[in-house]
Amino acid sequence: MTGGPLDTDLEWVRSGSDYFARQLAGLGEEDLAGDSLLPAWTRGAVVAHVASNAEALRRLCHWARTGEETPMYPSEEARDAEIARGAALPLGELRRLYAESRDALDGDWRGLPAEAWEAEVRTRQGRRLRARETVWMRAREVWIHGVDLAAGGSFRDVPPAVVDRLTTDVLEGWEARGEAVDMVLHPTDRDRPTSVGSPGPTISGSAADLAQWLTGRGGAGLKSSTGELPALPRWL
């Protein structure tokens, strides 16, 4: 590694993975069946999903390293079944599943040759990207889902640089799909507002609270110049 953007993303993954582990450590056996902050998902399902995601990214590592096309998941049904199996595990086994999948992915990344980072792979949604971009995908996964565990964390725990990149991610995704919402985002702890689409209501709040809302996790703490928060398209 060279100290460039890839190293930054890898550090965000490692610090985010530690954050997720701390949030998971705060849960008891009875908490796993409780609601997470991710609509319709239990906490146990969130943990299982994060572990499953690590295995899926390992498949993309294999693809990048060998040239053998290896999708993230064999099918949507296989993905759902993998998460369901993990969610049914006792807490101790679920913690171990998370830790082992985290460490295995980190090991794969450490062993990936320089040229493999530039190899083209494909996400579950069919988007083509360079293998190095999967590191940011994992970074946002562990930070956001660490908050989703509803174990006392919040988006305000997420490093400011990660929050800003996440917001950019959401807005660029909407633009690419032609789904931009007409509004102005005014993060009160940043230097300037961001216009989205055509002129619309101004939504004010901390950058972290705005990111939480943009990713579909509620708009608590936000204010709208019209008194109403606009409806948002999906993030991913």
Residues of the chain with CATH 1.20.120.450: 5-153
Q: State which amino acid sits at residue 200.
A: G
Fold adopted by 160-224: Nonspecific Lipid-transfer Protein; Chain A (3.30.1050)
| Range 5-153 classified under CATH 1.20.120.450 | yes
The separation between CA 127 and the C-alpha centre of its own chain, rounded to angstroms, equals: 16
Contacts of 131 by beta carbon, 8 Å cutoff, 6+ apart: 60, 61, 63, 64, 112, 116, 117, 118, 119, 120, 121
- Per-residue pLDDT 10s for the chain (236 aa) are 445 799 999 999 999 999 999 999 999 999 999 999 998 999 999 999 999 999 999 999 999 999 999 999 999 999 999 999 999 999 999 999 999 999 999 999 999 999 999 999 999 989 999 999 999 999 999 999 999 999 999 999 999 999 999 999 999 999 999 998 999 999 999 999 999 988 899 999 999 999 999 999 999 999 999 999 999 999 88
Q: State which amino acid sits at residue 224.
A: S
CA nearest neighbour of 144 among 54, 219, 37, 220: 37
Phi, psi of 230 (to 5 degrees): -70, 155
User: How many residues does the structure list for the chain?
Assistant: 236
Residues of the chain with CATH 3.30.1050.20: 160-224
